[in-house]
Amino acid sequence: MIHIPSSLRENILTTYSEQGRLWLEALPSLVETYLQLWNLDVIGKIENQTFNFVLRVRLRQDGTHAILKAGPHKKGRLREAEMLLAYNSGGLAPALLNFSEKDGILLLAAVEPGDSLESALVGGSISEVLSTEKAALMMTQVLNQVTLRSANKKISSIEIWGLGFEKFLRESCRGVVFPPTLIERADEVFKFLHSTSTEQILLHGDLHHANILLNGRGDLLLIDPKGVYGDPAFEVGAFMRNPIQTLCDHPALDQILIERISIFSDVLKLDRQRIWGWSFSQSVLAAIWTVEDKSRDYRQWIKVAEAFLRIENKI
């Protein structure tokens, strides 16, 4: 029997309401259908599921380990499948073994051992500096890649994401008390960077520590691409503000952010102020998303955003 984690259930119901409830009701039957259709055996579950249902499986014909992934946003899964195919062509992502456009189901080759850069950093098996350097080197390939296989699939711009600031203000911040002028400043910085961008490329959109996995050879592979067009320096923002649970209360938070900006700027040849601006504004946007999703403590993101303000003139 398919078990749906309570955290996943809560997030889906909060975000997708009635559509989410119907998807959750249909999920066990849907998963069982694809287990049979693709000749798969369940071998384990994955913890910390947030907005997608994920299972560890094995292909019956050859014993290959794989990951079965399902989500309520079918268009998002289609975009993810296309981007994974493109990234995999450059050796940056696990192989996409199968995909159902109709139901938004993906079957990915498992990454072994599959530890994330986040678990390695938090667990102490890799240093802060080395994890950032390895991620920066990976991003040089990411930013010089992706061409989608289907050019007719609509990909949004980061400009759409940036509308979240004004929307949040119109809704009176949903009763949440943010530091004075923080949203206005982030909105101003976001708009300035977008309007002065000289290049709009296809980005992963959420390339942080938990979405970077290590295989047995020590190579880095990315997962969970969002797919969004934007300024190259935007890609760094998700990594800069994570892993949030340990970063926000770190006694050396300001210095960590300064060092990360320096490394990314040197390796990627990107302007430090643009990295700072995208990272700051995205931290505020992450706080807004957290309030909207009711999924985590938005104040964690605010702490990081305020740290970015403190270091503005130190980079």
Look at residue 273 and tell me whether its pLDDT is greater than 90: yes
State the pLDDT confidence band at 152, using cuts at 50, 70 and 90: very low
pLDDT in tens, 203-217: 999 999 999 999 988
Could you give the CA distance from residue 183 to residue 176 in angstroms, rounded to a whole number? 12
| 307/62 Cα distance (integer angstroms) | 51
- Structure tokens, 260: 């990360």
Tokens of 151: 């050019």
All structural domains of the chain: 6-110 (3.30.200.20), 115-314 (3.90.1200.10)
Question: Which residues partner with 11 through β-bridges?
Answer: none
Q: Is 130 within 8 Å of 124 (Cβ atoms)? A: no
pLDDT at position 174 is: 74
Closest CA to 131 of 232, 259, 287, 223: 259
pLDDT in tens, 153-188: 567 899 999 999 999 988 877 778 888 789 999 999
Query: What does the pLDDT look like over 49-65, one tens digit per residue?
Result: 888 999 999 999 999 99
E-state strands within the chain: 40-45, 53-59, 65-70, 96-100, 105-109, 113-116, 201-203, 212-215, 220-222, 228-230
- Residue 291, classed as helix, strand or coil, is helix
66-77 pLDDT per residue, tens:
999 999 988 888
Neighbours of 286 (CB within 10 A): 23
Interval 283-287 mean pLDDT: 96
Partners of 157 in the β-ladder? 229
Give bridge partners of residue 113 from the DSSP assignment: 215
Phi and psi at 45, nearest 5°, equal: -110, 165
Q: Which residues contact 138 (CB under 8 A, 6 or more apart)?
A: 92, 212, 220, 222
- Taken in order 275, 218, 88, 106, the sign of the CA dihedral is negative
Tokens 């067009």 sit at which residue? 229
For residues 80 and 105, is the Cβ–Cβ distance under 8 A? no
